[in-house]
Amino acid sequence: MKADLLITDCRLATMAESGEPYGAIEDAAVLIAGGRILWTGPRADLPPHQAARTDRLDGRWVTPGLIDCHTHLVFGGDRSGEFEQRLGGAAYEDIARAGGGIVSTMTATRAASEDALYAAALTRLAGLKASGVTTVEIKSGYGLDHDGELKMLRVARRLGAEAGVRVRTSYLGLHAVPPEHRADRAAYVNKAVDEILPAAHAEGLVDAVDAYCEPIAFSTDEVARLFDKARALGLPVKLHADQLSDGGGAALAARYNALSADHIEHTTEAGVQAMAQAGVVAVLLPGAYLMLRETTPPPVDLLRRHRVAMAVATDCNPGTSPVASMTAALNLACVQFRLTPEEALAGATRVAAKALGLADVGVIVPGMAADLAVWDIERPAELCYWLGKPLLHARYLAGVADR
């Protein structure tokens, strides 16, 4: 068996559903060829092989590279002033209605060049990579016009090509109504659905279609129009659903067989049941819950009862979740939502891959991409236990080490 790389003297948290906690293998080895996992198992069972290189990890733990399946990583400007306002008692909805929130980021994003947006996104991406991330989803939604939305998506594609991560893009044209369309929101919906999305898709910039379904954003009828267009273009959908109120977002996501429904703090049992029947992943976003000082958590017990898979993501964005660490998100998911460390780590690997429609990342088994994270820890639960402690020893993307 010929291999490019042998990783040995390590402990694996494969995150495969093997019956062992974390899919763990003690004293393990991994063979990698052509950027993919060729073999994995106990070191004592290594088959005859020839490896061009060997990395000995001195007993360190190895997990799949973490997957951040919900971010708004590309944007212009800063909203620390709104952070101060919220700490002073202002509600997020009031700030948004007064012209702040998403619209203020829109103004800064439209004014920024692609190079400026790329440089700013790199600084945030550095935090994600330092916390073990190898795959990241990036949404548009701060351009809110033809040029701005395509500019954001081009920057996201560039990050995937140049910045040492895999990137999946989501078109989020229905994020907010831009000021120039406030008097005729229907005209903006038409433009977002019938003009901007087809143009972005034609340029190869869209992997999935997303929307913000809330009373302060877009209705289920408006989102359904967008999702119908996505379906016609052969694109999967996902949804910001039921974050601030029960608006039927989870049920809408289920109706369109969405990859995921995200936030879902106010989703009812009927919505959870609909998600379960349609195989929709629940993406939990504890950073936004923390920053908005919410008091209604996602219905985790219902999700468990109905066997809805739960992913965890940072929701990295300038207004409601300035979180640029995946391990911080794991900690918050455990502390705030009472996920177990194993649930949380599955939510950042195996389940997060499902939330992005990816079949070749998220577990350490033969045939998968060799995207790995190596950690200076003694137990996998430490990835959810520590808040702010550097834990990453190395990342491998397609079998290439990044230390």
CATH number for the domain including 125?
A: 3.20.20.140
Q: Are residues 43 and 107 in the same domain?
A: no
Query: Contact at 8 Å (CB) between 166 and 199?
Result: no
Q: Are residues 6 and 133 in the same domain?
A: no
Q: How many CA atoms lie within 13 A of 294 on its CB side?
A: 25
pLDDT at 50: 97
Q: Are residues 53 and 150 in the same domain?
A: no
Please check if 201 is assigned to a binding site.
no
Q: Are residues 87 and 57 in the same domain?
A: no
Q: Are residues 31 and 81 in the same domain?
A: no
Please check if 320 is assigned to a binding site.
yes
Q: Are residues 23 and 143 in the same domain?
A: no
Q: What is the CATH number of the domain that holds 50?
A: 2.30.40.10
Query: Contact at 8 Å (CB) between 283 and 311?
Result: yes
Q: How many CA atoms lie within 13 A of 6 on its CB side?
A: 19
From residue 3, alpha-carbon distances to 14, 34, 35, 168 in Å are: 20, 8, 10, 28
pLDDT at 86: 80
Please check if 273 is assigned to a binding site.
no
pLDDT at 229: 98
Q: Are residues 253 and 351 in the same domain?
A: yes
Query: How many domains, in total, are found in the chain?
Result: 2
Neighbours of 43 (CB within 10 A): 15
Please check if 240 is assigned to a binding site.
yes
Q: Are residues 60 and 134 in the same domain?
A: no
Q: b/e for 325-354, b at 16 or more Cβ within 10 A? A: bbbbbbbbbbebbebebbbbbbbbbbbbbb
From first to last of the 403 residues of the chain, give the pLDDT tens digit.
Answer: 899 999 999 999 999 998 899 999 999 999 999 999 999 999 999 999 999 999 999 999 999 999 999 999 999 999 988 888 888 988 877 887 777 888 889 999 999 999 999 999 999 999 999 999 999 999 999 999 999 999 999 999 999 999 999 999 999 999 999 999 999 999 999 999 999 999 999 999 999 999 999 998 999 999 999 999 999 999 999 999 999 999 999 999 999 999 999 999 999 999 999 999 999 999 999 999 999 889 999 999 999 999 999 999 999 999 999 999 999 999 999 999 999 999 999 999 999 999 999 999 999 999 999 999 999 999 999 999 999 999 999 999 999 998 6
Please check if 319 is assigned to a binding site.
yes
Determine the length of the chain: 403
pLDDT at 226: 98
Please check if 277 is assigned to a binding site.
no
Please check if 403 is assigned to a binding site.
no
Q: Are residues 55 and 88 in the same domain?
A: no
pLDDT at 83: 87
Please check if 336 is assigned to a binding site.
no
Please check if 49 is assigned to a binding site.
no
Q: Are residues 197 and 318 in the same domain?
A: yes
Q: Are residues 31 and 139 in the same domain?
A: no
Please check if 175 is assigned to a binding site.
yes
Look up the domain containing 393 and give its range.
2-64+363-402
pLDDT at 103: 84
Q: Are residues 396 and 289 in the same domain?
A: no
pLDDT at 72: 98
Which pair of structure tokens corresponds to residue 42? Answer: 């106990």
Residue partners of 68: CB distance under 8 A and separation at least 6: 128, 133, 135, 136, 137, 313, 314, 316, 326, 329, 348, 352
Q: Tell if the pTM clears 0.95, that is, is over it.
A: yes
